[in-house]
Amino acid sequence: MNSFKKILPALAVLLLGTVLTLAQNTPQTPVYNFPKPDVMFDLWPDGTPTDNGLTGEEKDYGNHVSNVTKPTLAVFLPEKPNGLAVLICPGGGYVDVWDKTEGYANARWYTDRGIVYAVVKYRLPNSHYEVPLDDVHEAMRVLWAHADEYGFTKLGIGGCSAGGHLASTAATHFSKPEERPDFQILFYPVISMDPAITHAGSSHYLLGDNPPKVLLESYSNEKQVTGDTPPAFIMANSDDRVVPCENSIRYYEALRAHRVPAALHIYPVGGHGWADNLAFPYREAWLTDLGVWLDSFVE
């Protein structure tokens, strides 16, 4: 009995060590600390007007969502509105929506400046190319319906990567005054469907395989710029191997040709997908320049 009592502490230590080892080796679900929206809207509470053909449940990974079939609008409100609002379209190659990293993550920067900040979790196209834009237009209508309440008179559009393509589509494909953004902010955007410079995955998931030339032309947004296209702030990197900066350059040149005010910032390094990267070497530069640019729209 005494011998058993003597080995009890050793057994306890051994057991504790085993438990800790198992805990350390057990995969853990990442814990994210993104800001919480002040308001969340179901974009189509009575059902969507179009179908993307996807079935099954959405999968929320905590920082992005796949198989999106239930679009939402997350709104972050400033304490002192300055009259501006921005609707952000996160990227994801039209196969995911990185709504947290390329959406929620930057919310406080905008609201601290007095800007109403909104993030649309849009339905994925699954080759139904009209679906994401339907959601963006509906998100704009919802925001405009609350403009007086939220304190804004100008609504811009923004987006990252494939979300930049969606944002630039909204800026070039509108048929009603309320669908036209007042300005556009594009982070390393996909712009063109030209196979020489496009992001092949985005083109595939948006338009499908071997789309007709008319669709390639229509969704090459550098070819859809007019004098009524809203002013743009565009950012890209020279070393982006995912979405070549030629997308941004062509769009800028088209805007300039139509005398649309545009700012183009191409940084030498940084790759792709840096909108939420605190270590991005030019983060302070783009935040400063974008802040000055946005201030020009405040009345």
Domain boundaries, the chain: 34-295
Q: Which residue has the tokens 């230590």?
A: 13
Q: Look at residue 62 and give its three-state secondary structure.
A: coil
What is residue 32's predicted lDDT score, i.e. its pLDDT?
A: 81
Tens-digit pLDDT profile for residues 169-203: 999 999 999 999 999 999 999 999 999 999 999 99
Give residue 145's pLDDT band: very low, low, confident or very high (50, 70, 90). Answer: very high
Is residue 94 a contact partner of residue 123, using CB atoms and an 8 Å limit?
Answer: no
For residue 180, give the DSSP letter: S
**235-245 pLDDT, tens digit each:** 999 999 999 99
Written as six digits, the tokens of 93 are 């190659």
Q: What percent of the chain has pLDDT over 70?
A: 90
Residues 274-289 have a mean pLDDT of: 96
Give 6's contacts (C-beta < 8 A, 6+ positions apart): none
Question: For residues 66 and 98, is the Cβ–Cβ distance under 8 A?
Answer: no
0.85 surpassed by pTM? yes
- The architecture that CATH gives domain 34-295 is 3-Layer(aba) Sandwich (3.40)
Task: Calculate mean pLDDT across residues 69-81.
Answer: 97
pLDDT digits (tens, 9 = 90+) for 8-38: 444 444 444 443 344 444 445 566 889 999 9
